[in-house]
Amino acid sequence: MTTKRICLLVALSLSVLVTLAAAAQTPKTAHATIPFEFCVEGNSLPAGDYIIQHVDSTSYLLFRSTDGKSITAVFALPMDDDPATEPNSKLIFRVENGRHYLYGGWGPFGRRVVAVESAWPAPSGAARVEVPITFTKASRQ
């Protein structure tokens, strides 16, 4: 019984190390060009090019405009851990009264919904706008 537990622990540890090593070898930065003003947890951000970074977890995201003038953080709840391929990664916005609210997204860590938006049903039809996320290799500084 103890041998099984040790083997399981070793296997899980190796799995985590392999995953971390693979991620470290191919660091990528997420980008999105958002063509409209939008709200994130009560903060209004202008249209523009944004870098999306994970901060300390896959559910705490930082949106930073490439010109450095706009920045906000958002906590997103995981809906699943089913990763999207790079061409299918996207941000999802809920449209209400002509305003765009960041609802969530789908990327390499699965589907996430912004915590304050989780009370709303997933937007659809004219109340939904999707913006693609692109990835570039992170530059070493």
Distance of CA 126 to the CA centre of its chain: 23
The whole-model pTM stands at 0.76
Contact 122, 106 (CB under 8 A): no
pLDDT greater than 90 at residue 130: yes
Banded model confidence at residue 1, pLDDT cuts 50, 70, 90: low
Banded model confidence at residue 70, pLDDT cuts 50, 70, 90: very high
Q: How far apart are CA 78 and CA 62, in angstroms?
A: 16
Contact 63, 71 (CB under 8 A): yes
Residue extents of the structural domains in the chain: 27-137
Q: How far apart are CA 57 and CA 2, in angstroms?
A: 32
Contact 77, 94 (CB under 8 A): no
Average pLDDT, rounded, for the chain:
82
